[in-house]
Amino acid sequence: MIDTPKTYKQRLEEIRKTIIDIGPKESAFVRIEQLFYEAINISRSYGKDIADNKLLVLFKELEESDYYQKTKAHFRKSSQREQAIRRFINQFKKLLALAIKNHFE
């Protein structure tokens, strides 16, 4: 099966809905990460060269940002980690919305 931009757009929409359903629970963060890397793989289908693929650049910038890096930090309370996860999820959702709106239309 050959994936088309329409199926990629649909999958990114599904990812966005799924992360909303999952929420920022610490126990579910591994699933959020899987979805994040799936979105990166979808963006790579448009080229692995960051000079030509602005969508990949945006995902890579989010991966290297404090939003993502703070989810890996050690916290004394799970609520602190969940707050970091919530911030990452918010940025991830914004990026997905931007990708869906601008890259596939």
What tens digit of pLDDT does each residue of 11-36 get? Answer: 999 999 999 999 999 899 999 999 99
Residue pLDDT, tens place only, 53-80? 889 999 999 999 999 999 989 889 889 9
Mean local confidence (pLDDT), 1-14: 79
Number of Cβ atoms within 10 Å of the Cβ of 19: 22
Confidence of residue 3 (pLDDT cuts 50, 70, 90): low
Length of the chain: 105
Three-state DSSP class for residue 13: helix
What is the Cα–Cα distance from 66 to 39, expressed in whole angstroms? 19
Nearest to 61 by CA among 72, 45, 50, 52: 50
Are 35 and 71 in contact by the 8 Å Cβ rule? The answer is no
Rounded-to-10 torsion of CA 82, 88, 92, 94: 100
